[in-house]
Structure 1
Amino acid sequence: MAKTKELSKDTRNKSVDLHQAGKTESAIGKQLGVKKSTVGAIIRKWKTYKTTDNLPRSGASRKISPRGVKMITRTVSKNPRTTRGDLVNDLQRAGTKVTKATISNTLRRQGLKSCSARRVPLLKPVHVQACLKFAREHLDDPEEDWENVIWSDETKIELFGKNSTCHVWRRKNAELHPKNTISTVKHGGGNIMLWGCFSAKGPGQLIRVKERMNGAMYREILSKNLLPSARALKMKRGLVFQHDNDPKHTARATKEWLRKKHFKVLEWPSQSPDLNPIENLWRELKIHVAQRQPQNITALEEFCMEEWAKLPAIVCKNLVATYRKRLTSVIANKGNITKY
């Protein structure tokens, strides 16, 4: 907002004189060419302080010049991972000595806040284009089609605490901008690995994967858990199975096993967790398990199984019912990471 021009002392004194002469604020404003509200403010100050002079203003002057503010704002816009210490040094080289707290306060006034960088999958251009292609091709699929899909995935769950964090300077609602995120790769270690599935009718089976998974083990997992899940969820004939493009999933033997069991497989783009609604269930599971604060691996596994079984069927139903919105969001973001 632009600053208004300060009225001269003569104009302020005339306002008071005319007020004492019995003129209304509206009449004074018209005569002097100022707003009625401004005249009212002058008169109120005169009545309170018996003066029309400027009163002492509270607060210290800004420690960083407007030019300095532009410099540090431009710096963090180009590189959101710039630290406060870096900015202190930049300003010191320019002749301005400030503290880290001053840096934080200054950037906050510019709408920038230090936040933990959001961890997102590492996406290459080919992944982005594949996600966008999938979303466009399936945007108009009827909801009934998605209700006949069994969604699956693996996830890791940590026993203690959070992974290391990285802070970035960003504006509100900009957490998913590529400059404000940390790219991750799938299954980068962890305490326990889980495989699970669900459909619009509710959660399917969940198991812990105790060994390094290979193709044979994956097919055994499907045999012991996918088939029972399909029966328990009372899936219709011609159900569709979704899994990602992990080499174990796309191996010839796995494809042949699924064909013999009469499972149609949903063609799936690589590195596309935003497209898989089971990611929302994993997030819910991890929150609920963390709240119970498991102290060892045995308790962690036990709590995972218990909390998975508690997931409401209506949550699963809503995730599938809103799948078109998910696809729309992917298209709007041109295949990049979305809020999902």
Structure 2
Amino acid sequence: MEQWRTFQNYPKSTVTTHPGGHKRPHNNIQRTQASLASVKVSVHDSTIRKRLGKNGLHGRAPRQKPLLIKKNIKAYLSFARKHLDDPQDLWDNTLWTDEIKILLFGRSVSHYVWCKSNTAFQKKNIIPTVKYGGGSVMVWGCFAASGPGRLAVINGTMNSAVYQKILKENVRPSVCDFKLKRTWVLQQDNDPKHTSKSTSEWLKKNKMKTLEWPSQSPDLNPIEMLWHDFKKVVHVRKPSNVAELQQFCKDEWAKIPLQRCNRLIASYRKCLIAVVAAKGGPTSY
């Protein structure tokens, strides 16, 4: 019976050699195990992981990014190139906005426990869940280089009329609080409620200039960074009901450091450079 042997530098090259001299590549753990199993050689998962770790390879949860079609990529890249050399004053006088849903009991953050064998279902080692997440809160928020602006809790179904009411009650006051220049610009994504005919007419009537925005481009909106931190600190407080969740959201949004907002906007050109370098693909922003 012909025997296979594994190279000593496995898994850097992850190659096995046949006595006849030809080489056979294996691209992952499963294929390597399948090859070894065919000759009744058993290698434990931990051994393979250790070898992979020595070569800088570690298991990670894949990052989630919106699916981009060619049309999205083209618009995304076009925006970055068009605004790459815009003065910093433009970004300093932009009011960035977005909506987000915060779950009462959800998997918004990762949890880990250290436990012994056969104790996984002990009360101290489990996280209780509630059907349908136990409720949630939808909020609209805005911020500028000067700091966090108003935060509005959205009750009921969000439609164009509700969105216009939120803008009416929160945009102008936030602009005044930040003392933005008369040339300030409102940033919003291309959600149908934001771009509907009635909303467009309302914005025009109220003389609110909006920043053109490519679809499926959260990497370009620095408020996403704030949402990431925001959800973590809200859940750390462990709200027990929707009313508490709403209050914690308002409290934590107001606590966002001014320096954090300022740094995000000051580095916005770096974000545009990253998009151009990635040719419209996903970035770390």
TM-score by length of 2: 0.79
Cα–Cα, structure 1 residues 242 and 96, in superposed 2: closer, same or farther, change >3 Å?
A: same
How far off is 1:295 after superposition? Answer: 2.6
Once the two structures are superposed, residues 292-318 of structure 1 have per-residue CA deviations (whole angstroms, 9 ceiling, x without a partner) of: 222322222211110100112222122
Partner SS, residue 200 of structure 2: helix
Whole-angstrom CA distance in 2 between matches of 1:249 and 1:124: 22
How far off is 1:242 after superposition? Answer: 0.5
Q: CA contact under 8 A between 1:87 and 1:103: conserved in structure 2?
A: no
Count of aligned residue pairs for this structure pair: 247
Which position in structure 2 is the counterpart of 1:299?
A: 244
Taking the TM superposition and a 5 Å limit, the aligned residue runs for 1:31-50 are none
How far off is 1:86 after superposition? Answer: 6.7
Cα–Cα, structure 1 residues 280 and 163, in superposed 2: closer, same or farther, change >3 Å?
A: closer
Whole-angstrom CA distance in 2 between matches of 1:281 and 1:100: 38
Whole-angstrom CA distance in 2 between matches of 1:212 and 1:87: 52
TM-score by length of 1: 0.67
Partner SS, residue 207 of structure 1: strand
Q: Which runs of 5+ in 2 are unaligned?
A: 17-24, 111-134
Taking the TM superposition and a 5 Å limit, the aligned residue runs for 1:76-95 are 76=28, 88-95=33-40
- Identical-residue share of aligned pairs (%): 45
Q: 1:98 aligns with which of 43, 48, 62?
A: 43
Whole-angstrom CA distance in 2 between matches of 1:153 and 1:106: 44
Partner SS, residue 96 of structure 2: strand
How far off is 1:87 after superposition? Answer: 5.1
Cα–Cα, structure 1 residues 112 and 153, in superposed 2: closer, same or farther, change >3 Å?
A: same
Q: 1:75 aligns with which of 18, 27, 43?
A: 27
Amino acid corresponding to residue 279 of structure 1 in structure 2: E
Which position in structure 2 is the counterpart of 1:113?
A: 58
Whole-angstrom CA distance in 2 between matches of 1:331 and 1:303: 38
Taking the TM superposition and a 5 Å limit, the aligned residue runs for 1:20-169 are 65-66=6-7, 69=11, 70=14, 74-76=26-28, 88-162=33-107
Amino acid corresponding to residue 226 of structure 1 in structure 2: V
Amino acid corresponding to residue 124 of structure 1 in structure 2: I
1:270 maps to 2:194 = no
Whole-angstrom CA distance in 2 between matches of 1:87 and 1:339: 32
Taking the TM superposition and a 5 Å limit, the aligned residue runs for 1:155-304 are 155-162=100-107, 191-304=136-249
Partner SS, residue 59 of structure 2: strand
Amino acid corresponding to residue 66 of structure 1 in structure 2: F
Q: CA contact under 8 A between 1:238 and 1:263: conserved in structure 2?
A: no
Partner SS, residue 27 of structure 2: helix
Partner SS, residue 314 of structure 1: helix
Partner SS, residue 141 of structure 2: strand
Whole-angstrom CA distance in 2 between matches of 1:266 and 1:120: 22
1:336 maps to 2:258 = no
Amino acid corresponding to residue 282 of structure 2 in structure 1: I
Which runs of at least 4 in structure 1 moved beyond 6 Å after TM superposition?
Answer: none
Whole-angstrom CA distance in 1 between matches of 2:98 and 2:156: 16
How far off is 1:74 after superposition? Answer: 4.1
Amino acid corresponding to residue 253 of structure 1 in structure 2: S
| Range with greater deviation from structure 2 (209-218 or 268-277) | 209-218
Amino acid corresponding to residue 79 of structure 2 in structure 1: F
Cα–Cα, structure 1 residues 110 and 93, in superposed 2: closer, same or farther, change >3 Å?
A: farther
How far off is 1:251 after superposition? Answer: 0.8
Which position in structure 2 is the counterpart of 1:320?
A: 265
